Structure 1
Amino acid sequence: MWWGAFLLKIFDKPLSSEEEKIYLKKCREGDLEARNKLIEKNMRLVAHIVKKYACADRDTEDLLSVGTIGLIKAVNTFDMNKSIRLATYAAKCIDNELLMLLRSDRRKSREISIYEPVGKDKEGNEINLIEIIGTSEDTVVEDYELRQDVKKLYSAVEKKLTDREREIIIMRYGLYGTQEITQREIAQKMNISRSYVSRIEKKSS
């Protein structure tokens, strides 16, 4: 989309690693100017992530606003002791905020469609979809979201994990129809430490 390239041009370039550390330190000391600088210098990241949701039924301005909320949360909660850049952590926070927005939109959309009339009974009364499927609105939405989350989980397992990590996560959570087992059982089975299993589990979460 043309606006994606435009947004990336108007936002400031990101800080260097050293500059970022300086501003993060000042921010943690209560310097609001440093906090604002961290937000401004990472707005390109927000614009970049928003591009992924260009096909969503939302104005770009709305997506940018919500993405910025995620960025602000990231700046406020980032742990400087972690061995990652702020952008890595912020990307997840921004993505989460945007996904929550779109899930909320999807839920509202389904609320409308689930109550739309689909016919009439013998007495001439309108019948809606919720009456036909015989379940609650919340259950339908939750089932749909669960199926979507499961698809994303399996996709992440296949694409982002190494063979060893994948094997551990499959056993830990009982994926692909396998039996879920404990960290201790995995450690004994693979002849590795329980702490290593725990690290893999945390890394994959």
Structure 2
Amino acid sequence: MKTFMEPLSKEEEEYYLKRFKDGDKKAKEVLIERNLRLVAHVVKKYVSTDMDRGLEDMISVGTIGLIKAITSFNMEKGKLSTYAAKCIDNELLMMLRYDKKKSKEVSLYEPIGTDHEGNEISLFDIIESDEKSIESQCELQEDLIRLSDVINKELTPREYEIIKMRYGLMGEEEVTQREVARIMGISRSYVSRIEKRALEKLKKAIE
């Protein structure tokens, strides 16, 4: 496992948290970098030889939990490390539940909202091109297999996280791009670009 920077002292942590709350983006970067050792510590609990996910992938997922913790932490309620550990743990557990899900096709067809006419739509409906028609059940199954493979293996942790939140997958509540941006501590336009890129990957999987 790579070497991470030493954690911040209590005084340093309070200083950078206050700077971050005042809008200092550099302070947020410091808080992330100096808490990566905590991410690695939590990840150790889940590392085993029979896991499909690599260590670096798990560190990336855990870091998403850390970013959420830093963004939403209330300085008046306990220590950041305690709160962040729970957020990191939760993010990793959600990832593991997703990896262990046997029937990936179900999640692709699970209703995630309605169109302008009030009809239920799924992630597959969004990804599928209007011009593309499925001629047979066999072709449909092939498309689903390719699409599931992309979701599991080719989307980056950040792309997967954004798609999951935007379309309410894996039990997540469907949220707007603005809300995703707030949770992840990035701009709404950046969320939009990542979402578009992820959906393009999924489209290519069924072409």
Q: TM-score, normalised by structure 2?
A: 0.48
Q: Which has the larger radius of gyration?
A: 1
**Higher-RCO chain (CA-CA 8 Å, sequence separation at least 6):** 2
Bigger fraction of residues in helix: 1
